[in-house]
């Protein structure tokens, strides 16, 4: 049986600021992110299995990504916890805003690395994360490939 890649796409809105950056992104701003999650595995061949012919049920993949990424990052603001933005984060949190203090500078590159680790930890043993594509704007994105890591 062949290995097959399947992809599920997700959309979410997230704000961030890049502390110490020398461009406009040092200011708090947001993006309409598009995340493409591709996994690889062999389709189920057991004729008695309810998911016969599937690598993974798209609904099962959706549940993983929604719980660990979309539901957490959607309409949140992400700051690097090791920057002075923590003062702003505290004020926003005190006012009822959803703020994430990350262990990293919240660039698309670092976010996609974080997302890969989160998804890999939840996938069934027979399924592997093949790649992620995190699109920040219509023309800018970061990609993560298992083969590169």
CB burial of residue 44 (10 Å; 0-12, 13-18, 19+): middle
Q: Which residues are annotated as a binding site for Zn(2+)?
A: 16, 29, 31
What positions carry a catalytic annotation?
A: 25, 75, 136
CA dist list (Å): 117 to 10, 25, 49, 68, 149: 17, 25, 29, 10, 11
Give CA angle at 110 (102, 30), nearest 5°: 70
């Amino acid at each position: 049986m062949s290995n097959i890649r399947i992809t599920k796409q997700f959309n979410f809105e997230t704000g961030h600021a890049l502390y110490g950056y020398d461009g406009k992104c040092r200011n708090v701003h947001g993006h309409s992110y598009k995340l493409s999650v591709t996994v690889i595995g062999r389709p189920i061949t057991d004729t008695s299995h309810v998911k016969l012919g599937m690598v993974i049920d798209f609904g099962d993949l959706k549940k993983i990504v929604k719980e660990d990424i979309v539901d957490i990052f959607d309409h949140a603001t992400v700051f690097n916890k090791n920057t002075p933005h923590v003062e702003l984060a505290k004020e926003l949190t005190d006012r009822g805003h959803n703020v994430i203090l990350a262990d990293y500078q919240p660039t698309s590159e670092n976010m996609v690395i974080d997302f890969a680790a989160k998804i890999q930890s939840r996938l069934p043993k027979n399924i592997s994360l093949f790649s992620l594509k995190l699109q920040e704007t219509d023309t800018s994105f970061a990609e993560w490939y298992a083969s590169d890591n």
